[in-house]
Amino acid sequence: MAISVFDLFKIGIGPSSSHTVGPMRAAATFARALREHGVLEQVNRVEVRLYGSLSATGVGHATDRACLLGLMGEWPDQIDPQSIEPLIAQLQQSQVLMLDGRRAIPFDCATDLLLLDESLPYHPNAMTLEASGASGSLLQQTYYSVGGGFIVEAAQVGEAGNSAEQVQLPYDFDSAAELLALCKQHQLRVSQVMMANELAWREEAEVRSGLLKLWAAMRECVDNGLRNEGVLPGGLKVKRRAAKLHRSLQELGKPNVIGSTLSAMEWVNLFALAVNEENAAGGRMVTAPTNGAAGIIPAVLHYYMKFNPDACDNDVVDFLLSAAAVGILCKKNASISGAEVGCQGEVGSACAMAAAGLAEVLGATPMQLENAAEIALEHNLGLTCDPVGGLVQVPCIERNAIAAVKAINAVQMALRGDGEHFISLDRVIRTMRDTGADMHANYKETSRGGLAVAFVEC
């Protein structure tokens, strides 16, 4: 299965890639299918059925709203976040949904959007949409949101893959060992291997412009997070901290990043908090590789670009390409879905990806890069996904800040060595997969265990 860097990094909205971005894409795909099948004008009812983790934490993750927006024909990479509240308010007041933005049908959220206490076998994040007309069912589709905004139709389960996945890559790899072997054989850096593979889909200028567009979206998300204040939605009354922290750091004057470890950590913390507060508020951000872990890669890259006077756009390209190489390995051989393997699959994968990207731009050899990613992921093994109240806030926001610093530390340790180490990245990824399989469902984005039940509302 060929995976592009643009599959892992997508512009979307918060708070969750698997629970918000994926379901919105699935619902929009369904609405488009109705139009393409020529039955849109016959539809007089649509029923949405959410299963498993999508049902358990659907309201807290805005899955219900995402489905409604997708049915309206909205896409997560195109919708204006400021338009969401008015669209939902209008639907709730009128109980009329503009299907695909074209066909007005009655829609009652209480009866037409069902949160079911059951699961489908392929993946915990499942949803079924059915459109009916006067003569009965017109179209029914089941979708799985498998993490990072990826969706799979039930009909595709077990298939070898679609045409995009069957693209022939010049340097295809399914393991870190294979990636290192390719680098050694062809005397290439990891970013060069990834760029060569991306050219199977698009021209180099398009790859570079696309990656810089992602970086611009990441920067904008950080800037919004540094500016916006107040209380995050959802009922936990979590206060935003990034804007206040930013002001306090600016008052310290120009930070001595090289000489002050504490100062460096505070700036990395700041950037991660800013992104994940925006995500929790439903703002525009980039899945990297998921929304719940979206602050880690931008925080590390933002820090490098802000405080390295020699940093340039080429560093951004190399960073994101190398990060994607590790993300591809995590997705192929384990999972980036918190509902499938816990937060180790989200924060752990993002931490390893950030370490790989930073190692690349700091001149690491491929072996040192692999070591950095291994260190970062190894020390996130067993991390549970237990969001309090089903919201991507506690412990998710702080968890990104901790992991961003951890990624930098992993790179520092790897660069002090020659790349030789005891446990390989491949073994750690397999361990993440196995640990996720052994992990109880209560700790996999259901909010039925861990910190989610330790919280006592006063």
Model confidence over 195-219: pLDDT tens digits? 999 999 999 999 999 999 999 999 9
Specify the pLDDT at position 261: 63
Whether residue 257 has pLDDT greater than 60:
no
Specify the pLDDT at position 259: 46
Least confident of 56-60, 218-222, 322-326, 338-342: 56-60
| pLDDT tens string 43-98 | 999 999 999 999 999 999 999 999 999 999 999 999 999 999 999 999 999 999 99
Q: Could you give the CA distance from residue 362 to residue 186 in angstroms, rounded to a whole number?
A: 21
Specify the pLDDT at position 252: 72
Could you count the other beta carbons within 10 Å of the beta carbon of residue 141?
A: 18
Q: Could you give the CA distance from residue 336 to residue 317 in angstroms, rounded to a whole number?
A: 22
Whether residue 229 has pLDDT greater than 80:
yes
| Secondary structure (3-state) at 402 | helix
For residue 109, the surrounding DSSP H or E stretch is helix 109-112
Beta bridge partners of 231: 239
CATH class of 176-454: mainly alpha
Q: pLDDT above 70 covers what percent of the chain?
A: 96
Residue 254 banded pLDDT, cuts 50, 70, 90? low
Sign of CA dihedral 417, 369, 381, 394: positive
Residue 332 banded pLDDT, cuts 50, 70, 90? very high
CATH number (3.30.1330.90, 3.90.1640.10, 3.30.420.590, 1.10.220.110) of 14-156 reads 3.30.1330.90
| pLDDT tens string 125-149 | 999 999 999 999 999 999 999 999 9
Taking residues 35-50, report their average pLDDT. Answer: 98
Residue 343 banded pLDDT, cuts 50, 70, 90? very high
Domain boundaries, the chain: 14-156, 176-454
> What is the residue-wise DSSP string for 114-174?
EE-S---SS-SEEEEEEEEETTEEEEEEEEEEEETTEEEEGGGTTSS--TTTTPPPTT--S
Specify the pLDDT at position 263: 78
Specify the pLDDT at position 264: 84
Whether residue 440 has pLDDT greater than 60:
yes
Residue 381 banded pLDDT, cuts 50, 70, 90? very high
Q: Could you give the CA distance from residue 217 to residue 13 in angstroms, rounded to a whole number?
A: 11
Q: Provide the edge-to-edge strand list for the sheet that holds 136-147.
A: 113-115, 45-51, 125-133, 136-147, 150-153
The tokens of 210 are what? 């696309």
Q: pLDDT above 90 covers what percent of the chain?
A: 91
Mean of the per-residue pLDDT values for the chain?
94
Specify the pLDDT at position 250: 86
| Closest CA relative to residue 125, chosen from 13, 26, 273 | 26
| pLDDT tens string 153-165 | 998 886 544 444 5
Inter-residue contact 334 to 436 (CB < 8 Å): yes
Q: Could you give the CA distance from residue 276 to residue 218 in angstroms, rounded to a whole number?
A: 11
Could you count the other beta carbons within 10 Å of the beta carbon of residue 259?
A: 8
Specify the pLDDT at position 160: 44
Sign of CA dihedral 379, 274, 357, 339: positive
Specify the pLDDT at position 157: 86
Whether residue 414 has pLDDT greater than 80:
yes
Taking residues 391-405, report their average pLDDT. Answer: 97
Whether residue 225 has pLDDT greater than 60:
yes
| Closest CA relative to residue 67, chosen from 151, 132, 137 | 151
φ and ψ at residue 376, rounded to 5 degrees: -65, -45
Whether residue 456 has pLDDT greater than 60:
no
